[in-house]
Structure 1
Amino acid sequence: MKIKAAIIREKGKPFQFEEVDLQSPQKGEVLVKIRASGVCHTDEVAQNQMIPVPLPAVLGHEGCGIVEEVGEGVTEFEKGDHVVFSFGYCGHCKSCLEGKPYACENFNQINFGGVMSDGTRRLSKDGEEISSFFGQSSFATHSVVHQNSIIKVDKDIDLDILGPLGCGIQTGAGAVLNRLKPAVGSSLVVFGCGTVGMSAIMAANLCPCSNIIAVGGNEESLALAKELGATHTINRKKCDDIVGEIKKITGGGADYAIDTSGVEDFVKKALACLKFLGTAVVLGVTGDLTINVQEELMGEAKSLVGVVEGDSNPKIFIPQL
């Protein structure tokens, strides 16, 4: 079928809206008419080839929509279902069978390799194959996705606002609820007040943490963070000693810190603001990073961990959210 999609053809170049061909859903796949899509920083990262998705490609990975057709073997979905997209996974490797699809051994190929889970492509134009992204390519009017990557939602929920559940929201909330699991009364710092950071703040408020500190550079975002559960906010543009201020608020250091930016300085501050035995989580796409293991980790028995998609099983976690 003919659809319209936003295509990236060259590194760092603007998206081009073009008419392309989309194959029918194959075994285990579903055709979805896109209702809305979030725009995540990871899309920009792929556009600039920090994640080297083969070009040309249709990006987008926070989609939601309505099922129009199901392929062979699909029994969980039917035409008319409202669905939210999430990341792709194979479903048969050790991690997937253990209920940890975020650690799928084929994660990179399915989500960043430009192909579907069977190794083939569904998008093309004039005979030229076009890569997919996160197994969904939601910057389009329609998408063919594997049934592993979609979650049915109630039709009485406003579908237009649900797209970010599949990535940004589950990443931030999952980092808190699935990985850190802070005890009641813990202290947590969140660097960055975008979708991921705000989701982490809301999740921390559910635990509940006693001190939830939001660090950002925009007063409006910091005000929203306060509304969503932050007990304290720090404007990084106005504070000369962010780490010192955090230690003052927490009485010596935070139990946990989450960096959503991927910026080296903030990752290092996330470590530095921790108390003895504290844990820092990195959620942002990070380039080269130098850590002094003795001084920044072992000296105070701290931990630095990377979390993928909130350590989430989307089929379970997104309905919970």
Structure 2
Amino acid sequence: MRIQAALIETTGGPFTIRDVDIEEPRPDEILVEITAAGICHTDLAMRDRWPERTLPMVFGHEGAGVVAAVGASITSRNVGDTVALSYRSCGKCEQCRRGQPAYCLLSELNMRGARADGSSGLRAGGRRVHGNFFGQSSFASHALAYESNVVPIPSALSPVLAAPLGCSVQTGAGTVLNVLRPTPGDTVAVFGAGSVGLSAVMAAVSLGCTVIAVDPNPARLALAHELGATDTGLTNAHHAIDTTGRPEVIARAIGALRRRGTLALVGLGGKAEFDIMTVMYNGIRIRGVVEGDASPATFLPQLVDLHRLGRLPIEKLITEYPFADIEQAARDAAGGKVVKPVLTFG
């Protein structure tokens, strides 16, 4: 079938919309017509480092839409289902069997730019197009996905709101609700007020926590305060979350914790240095977190319920762009002009 997709054709290059041919779904695949897709920091970071040998590439991993076709072995999803897309997991390894698919031992499937057998379901002008990013590649009018990352959602929920649930909202809110699990009255310090950090702010506020947001962007700090964060002094926090991946911010987060406090690391980064004696003497725990330790099939419906109850007002983070303006949306996101750009498909 002929579709439209936003291709990256050179490492670090712009998104360019092209006509692309997509295969019919294989027995284990689900074809989703995309109606909205969030742009995540990971999409932008990966396009800047994606190797030339696996280009052109279709990114996008916060898709929402309608099931258009299902493979022969799919029994739990039906044509016409409204769905949100998330990360892919194998469902069979030790971590998946233990209910921790975010740490799937085949997690590289999300980043290979290909199916498990190395093939791609996309072609343009007779040449191979790489995809399968997070098991979806949703910067396209249609995407091939899988049972593990296609989650039914209420048809009444706008796809613009549903799309960010699959990664950024899941990561931020899940870090609070699934990992840190603060009790009412605890202090939670959130470093970085992007979509992940602000989702963490909303989740912590919903639990009755005192929330401190840290970000150099005054507009984002103002939004954090609107969502319930305070200007209380940045010391003696029970929990801290770093969404930046920056060494100097991580060191500051450690310094903000009380004894036996916990730091959750969720931001992409390289190496960081910290004072071992500070961590050891104060019994500080440092915990890496992927996708909020969430299982999408069960956690995304929880997020939908929180939104319905008014406890997760994600609409305050979103700026809509037509799919044709994807490059402008990416620039605005990279420049900090918007928090969560969401592409819409006519």
State the partner residue of 1:10: 10
Secondary structure of 2:115's counterpart equals: coil
Aligned pair partner of 2:234 in 221, 246, 263: 246
Q: Does 1:309 align with 2:309?
A: no
More relative contact order, 1 or 2 (CA 8 Å, 6+ apart): 2
2:216 is matched with which residue?
217
Shift of 1:53: 9.2
1:168 aligns with 2:151: no
CA gap 1:138/1:274 in 2 versus in 1, 3 angstroms? same
- C-alpha distance in 2, partners of 1:50/1:257? 31
User: Structure 1 residue 128: deviation in Å?
Assistant: 2.4
> Structure 1 CA distance, aligned partners of 2:17 and 2:6?
4
The equivalent residue for 2:318 is: none
What is the aligned partner in structure 2 of residue 269 from structure 1?
252
Kindly indicate whether residue 297 of structure 2 is the aligned counterpart of residue 298 of structure 1.
Answer: no
2:274 paired with 1:286: no
Change (3 A) 1:118 1:296: farther
CA distance, structure 2, for counterparts of residue 306 and residue 46 of structure 1: 20
Secondary structure of residue in 2 paired with 1:69: strand
Asked if the contact 1:201–1:225 (Cα under 8 Å) also holds between the matched residues in 2, the reply is yes
Supply the AA of the counterpart residue of 1:140.
A
Residues 97 and 17 from structure 1, CA distance in 2 versus in 1: closer, same or farther, beyond 3 angstroms?
same
Partner SS, residue 183 of structure 1: coil
Which letter does structure 2 place at the counterpart of 1:146?
Answer: Y
Question: Letter of the aligned partner of 2:227 in structure 1?
Answer: L
Q: Secondary structure at the match of 2:185?
A: coil
The CA distance in 2 between the partners of 1:296 and 1:55, in whole Å, is: 45
Aligned pair in 2 of structure 1 residues 177, 52: CA closer, same or farther (>3 Å)? Answer: farther
State the SS of the aligned residue for 1:223.
helix
Contact kept, 8 Å, 2:11 with 2:52, in 1: the verdict is no
CA contact (8 A) 1:53 1:113 kept: no
Match of 1:40 in 2: 40
Partner residue, 1:20: 20
> Structure 2 CA distance, aligned partners of 1:115 and 1:131?
6
Indicate the residue corresponding to 2:315 in structure 1: none
Cα distance in 2 for partners of 1:128, 1:297 equals 52
Equivalent residue number for residue 228 of structure 2: 229
Report if aligned partners of 2:64, 2:84 keep a CA contact under 8 Å in 1: yes
Match of 1:208 in 2: 208
Structure 2's unaligned 5+ residue stretches are: 304-346
**CA distance in 1: counterparts of 2:115 and 2:101, whole angstroms:** 16
Q: Which residue of 2 aligns with 1:320?
A: 302
Displacement, 1:55? 2.4
Whether the 8 Å CA contact 1:86–1:314 is kept in 2: the answer is yes
**Aligned 8 A contact 1:67 1:82 in 2:** yes
Letter in 2 for 1:311: D
- Extract unaligned runs of 5+ from structure 1: 234-244, 248-252
Q: SS of the residue aligned with 2:135?
A: coil
Contact preservation (8 Å) 1:191, 1:266: yes
Question: If the length of structure 1 is used for normalisation, what is the TM-score?
Answer: 0.90
TM-score (norm. length: structure 2): 0.84
Q: Separation in 1 of the partners of 2:116 and 2:152?
A: 20
State the identity %: 41
8 A contact 2:43–2:60 mirrored in 1? yes
Task: Give the conservation status (yes or no) of the 8 Å contact 1:52–1:112.
Answer: no
- Name the amino acid aligned to 2:258: K
RMSD over equivalenced CA pairs, Å: 1.7
Give, in whole Å, the separation in 2 of the partners of 1:50 and 1:118. Answer: 20
Aligned-partner Cα distance in 1 for 2:91–2:118:
14
What's the secondary structure of 1:124's corresponding residue?
strand
